[in-house]
Homo-oligomer: A and B are copies of this chain.
Amino acid sequence: MRIAVFAGDGIGPEVTEQAVRVLEALGLDGLELVEGDVGGMAYRKHGHPLPPETLETARSADAILFGAVGDFSCDHLERHLRPEQAILGLRKELGLFANLRPARVFPGLEDLTTLREEVASKIDLLIVRELNGDVYFGEKGMRTLPDGRRQGWDMMSYAEDEVRRIAHSGFTAAMGRSKKLCSVDKANVLETSQLWRDVVIEVSKEYPEVELSHMYVDNAAMQLVKNPGQFDVIVTGNLFGDILSDQASMCVGSIGLLASASLAEGTYGLYEPIHGSAPDIAGKGLANPMATILSAAMLLRHSLGLEEQAVRIENAVAGALSAGVKGGDLGGAAGTREIGDAVVERL
């Protein structure tokens, strides 16, 4: 069992360090951790945010534990050299096409969200976002039109097989939850969405027990404010998923607790906290490592089949929280290492 650990930029290293401590404290037989450089720090060391050796390390592993990338000092670089390309590159190169982002309000933390308690407490949803296609990975460029004007352009598209496999991810997730799936698109304007909708409907025939609905993305953004409790599993494309999953996370209030998985076919996956590199607090020992620790739990469950150990970690985090061990983002005062200690103690 080999886990690639890519800590990245900003608070990435400190939160990842605690997650690694937690993994090591489990005393798993034959667990090997290998590090790799990604993001702005990789650019500075190797001239590229996703150096070939990192990609090789990833390929040699069973799963990736990822910290965060992002570094303002790289803002002036050409797009293909910016830190974000590390995560985009890993998704594409490793075929990580299904991003699972669960969002639910943790009991006792209802006061962290800006939504009214009676609205927030009903949130328990999963966003299944496609990660390998859409306008993210189409051809794109800057050009000068014949009349001399500059134009920026990006091709948005989905092919039926790309939609089919993420639709299966969505329906499978729905089967494991409350058998309701909402597919989000903009089929009233986009042909890409029309194809998306057609294929999702085709795939739905294989899941007769799942109740499928369709929603336009603008309406979905409204409904996530009006009544987020109406959703169970949402499946959507890369761009809409980017926006809606961040919106949904903030509805929960405690993004320092939210983990995510990006899965390939089979068991391979990349696991990361949904928060970013937070350069403003980096290196100060203030970052909350819980989301990364919970990402490690997801990794054990999905990629290594270690359900029991995953639950041990999740219970330890819940225990630390209910004992009042909270990071600054949750209104507490516990530092990064202190939170790591509290979780390790409770394993």
Cβ contacts under 8 Å, A82 to chain B = 188
The number of times this chain is found in the oligomer is 2
A243:B221 contact, CB within 8 angstroms: yes
In Å, the complex CA distance between A84 and B158 comes to 23
Choose, from A25-33, A190-198, A204-212, A291-299, the stretch at the interface.
A190-198
Cβ contacts under 8 Å, A194 to chain B = 79, 142, 152
Choose, from A40-48, A50-58, A245-253, A333-341, the stretch at the interface.
A245-253
In Å, the complex CA distance between A312 and B225 comes to 32
Q: Does A141 lie at the interface of the complex (its beta carbon under 8 Å from any beta carbon of B)?
A: yes
CB distance from A124 to the nearest CB of B (A): 16
> Using a CB-CB cutoff of 8 Å, which residues 189-232 of chain A contact chain B?
189-196, 217-219, 221-227
Contact with B along A13-34 (1 / 0, CB 8 A): 0000000000000000000000
How many chain A residues touch B (CB < 8 A): the figure is: 60
A135:B195 contact, CB within 8 angstroms: no
A192:B226 contact, CB within 8 angstroms: no
Q: A159-B149, A222-B247 are in contact. Are A154 and B191 (CB under 8 A)?
A: yes
CB distance from A101 to the nearest CB of B (A): 12
A142:B221 contact, CB within 8 angstroms: no
A161:B149 contact, CB within 8 angstroms: yes
Partner of A158, one of B115, B152, B226: B152
Q: Does A284 lie at the interface of the complex (its beta carbon under 8 Å from any beta carbon of B)?
A: no
A136:B189 contact, CB within 8 angstroms: yes
B157:A152 contact, CB within 8 angstroms: yes
A114:B227 contact, CB within 8 angstroms: yes
Cβ contacts under 8 Å, A247 to chain B = 221-222, 224-225, 247
> Using a CB-CB cutoff of 8 Å, which residues 280-307 of chain A contact chain B?
none
In Å, the complex CA distance between A155 and B193 comes to 13
CB distance from A219 to the nearest CB of B (A): 7
Q: Does A119 lie at the interface of the complex (its beta carbon under 8 Å from any beta carbon of B)?
A: yes
Can you list 6 A-B pairs, Cβ within 8 angstroms, ordered by A? A84-B189, A115-B115, A151-B195, A153-B191, A221-B243, A247-B247
5 closest Cβ pairs, A-B complex: A152-B195, A153-B157, A225-B250, A221-B247, A218-B246
